[in-house]
Amino acid sequence: MRALTETDIRGSFVNASRKEIADLALPLDFAETDWASRDFYGWRDRKAPMRGAVVVELGDRLVGVSLRRADAKPRTRAQCSWCQDVELTREVVFYAAKRAGDAGRRGDTVGTLVCADFGCPANVRRNPSVAYVGFDVEAARGARIEGLAERVRGFAASVLGE
Ligand SMILES: [Zn+2]
């Protein structure tokens, strides 16, 4: 994705109040972000651990979504619905996002099961284990990267009600 500034990020939210956006703490290593190897920017708020946020490009629009971690615990060995990583030691949790606009004000949310640390972009870029002779590692990796981008964009679109 393209490199974002803090202003881009704070200006992108579609489902958060001005106060929520102002209160959001960006990661301390924000300045060192490797944007080229990301499909979205996601983080857990270090000052409010139950809160998280993701920012993704939807066409030429930047969409930021504020998330709240749900109390419900997923079953053990749950799989992240975004990166679908098979590494079972990873912590996967439920996050809920208020829908944008009137739907959100009425209390509508969109839920998703995601890696707790939003490490999905790194997960899909790891080389997959070779499944069989002649297995195309690069193609498999490319398909996982494209799949992740598509699922996160789909999530942002459903928050927007599109
Ligand atoms: Zn993931």
Nearest Cα to Cα of residue 42 among 146, 156, 122, 119: 119
Distance 57 CA to ligand 1 centre (A): 18
110-160 confidence digits (pLDDT tens): 999 999 999 999 999 987 777 777 888 889 899 999 999 999 999 999 999
Question: Ligand 1 mean position to 54 CA, how many Å?
Answer: 12
Kindly tell me if the per-residue pLDDT of 103 is higher than 70.
yes
pLDDT over threshold 80, residue 73 = no
Half-sphere exposure of 86 (CA within 13 A, CB side): 5
Q: Any residues with CB less than 8 A from the CB of 54 and at least 6 apart, and which?
A: 40, 41, 42, 64, 65, 67, 118, 152, 155, 156
Determine the distance separating the centroid of ligand 1 and the alpha carbon of 48, expressed in angstroms. 20
* Helix (H), strand (E) at residue 51: strand 51-58
Q: Give residue 161 CA to ligand 1 midpoint distance, Å.
A: 23
Please tell me the distance between residue 112's alpha carbon and the centre of ligand 1 in angstroms: 11
Nearest to 86, CA basis, from 146, 126, 46, 51: 126
Domain boundaries, the chain: 6-160
CA of 124 to the centre of ligand 1 (A): 8
Q: How far apart are CA 150 and CA 57, in angstroms?
A: 11
How big is the CA angle at 160 (ends 51 and 62), to the nearest 5 degrees?
75
139 compared with 63, residue with greater pLDDT: 63
Sheet order of strands, 92-98 included = 41-44, 51-58, 61-69, 92-98, 109-115
Q: Give the Å distance between the CA of 117 and the centre of ligand 1.
A: 8
- Report the alpha-carbon distance of residue 126 to residue 156 in Å, rounded: 24
Q: Which residues contact 30 (CB under 8 A, 6 or more apart)?
A: 6
* CA of residue 68 to ligand 1 center, whole Å: 16
pLDDT value of residue 88: 64
C-alpha 83 – ligand 1 centre gap (Å)? 4
User: Ligand 1 being an ion, which residues bring their Cβ within 5 A of it?
Assistant: 80, 82-83, 115, 120
**Residue 82 CA to ligand 1 centre (angstroms):** 5
Q: Which of 112, 11, 28 has the alpha carbon at shortest distance from 67?
A: 112
Q: What is d(CA 139, CA 128) in angstroms, rounded to the nearest whole number?
A: 10
pLDDT in tens, 2-57: 999 999 999 999 999 999 999 999 999 999 999 999 999 999 999 998 999 999 99
pLDDT tens digits for range 79-100: 999 999 877 677 899 999 999 9
